Amino acid sequence: MFRNAAELVEIAENENIKISEVMIRQEMDVKDKTREEVFSQMETNLSVMEKAVEEGLQGVKSHSGLTGGDAVLLQKYLQEKQPLSGELLLDAVSKAVATNEVNAAMGTICATPTAGSAGCVPGTLFAVKNRLHPTREEMIRYLFTAGAFGFVVANNASISGAAGGCQAEVGSAAAMAAAAIVEMAGGTPQQSADAFAITLKNMLGLVCDPVAGLVEVPCVKRNAAGASNAIVSADMALAGVTSRIPCDEVIGAMYRIGRAMPSAHRETAEGGLAATPTGRALEAKIYGIPMKKE
């Protein structure tokens, strides 16, 4: 039905429907399922996300000991202090962190679009929920909107850290979240595309350098940054700020940057933070091996 963001927006505008509706219809057509079946499947995903956020906010620890407990610290800070970044934004950050801490602790999450970037979409959704008070259907539509843009990225660039760096994972996830926030807040399809583009532009070139090869450091905190990026970009788009570079061209730029990235910066744990003295020391401690010399 659509191959890129321009076609996605065009369909929504021409038929006077939401981007989420375009994605729902495509899912019905491609999977040969009824609207009820498509909605039910996505509601299952929503429930998984909800449980992951709740579990993470209770406090979890990864088996490696590298991550865990930060979501709890953030919520405590929210309750006891006045956060400089604002309550909604920091709440989204805490819930994004909670989701990724559950992932690191081998819990169940919903990849959006990957496990390593699974915090941005639910983190923002369950924070914005407290401000916009959406219905359950609107929350499910949020995921369809995010999915529509994720579909575009997956088919025109990459959502893999190994192929395109963290810009392809957390960058895409944050941009997907921004587009979905805009629709839930009453924005236009074009504003969703602008929010997506603004977010992804701000994360171009982000490398994938997991310490010890684990999806923990710096992955969890990058989801926090992605969630905050998404909210700010959504606000910019809703205010009428547009992206000078069209959404599809931003996605194309991300793809080319990813291809040009050295392999050391694409999920191999051979460069970046993974190759720092502390990164190597943590790797040696976790695996019980001699430290690598750089």
Closest Cα partner for 97 from 129, 62, 57, 147?
57
> What digits encode the pLDDT tens for the residues 26-59?
999 999 999 999 999 999 999 999 999 999 999 9
Q: What percent of the chain has pLDDT over 90?
A: 98
Fold of 5-287: 2-methylcitrate dehydratase PrpD (1.10.4100)
With a cut of 70, say whether residue 25 has pLDDT above it: yes
Task: Work out the average pLDDT over 149-172.
Answer: 98
Q: Please report the pLDDT score of residue 280 as a whole number.
A: 97
Q: Please report the pLDDT score of residue 1 as a whole number.
A: 86
Alpha helices (H) in 59-156, listed in sequence order: 70-80, 87-104, 120-132, 136-156
Q: Please report the pLDDT score of residue 60 as a whole number.
A: 98
Q: What is the pTM of this model?
A: 0.97
Answer for the pair 266, 161: CB distance below 8 angstroms, yes or no.
yes
Alpha helices (H) in 16-69, listed in sequence order: 19-31, 35-58
With a cut of 70, say whether residue 194 has pLDDT above it: yes
Q: Please report the pLDDT score of residue 291 as a whole number.
A: 64
Q: Please report the pLDDT score of residue 99 as a whole number.
A: 98
Task: Work out the average pLDDT over 254-278.
Answer: 98
With a cut of 80, say whether residue 163 has pLDDT above it: yes
The CA distance from 152 to 293, in Å, is: 41
Sign of the CA dihedral running 293, 260, 2, 203: positive
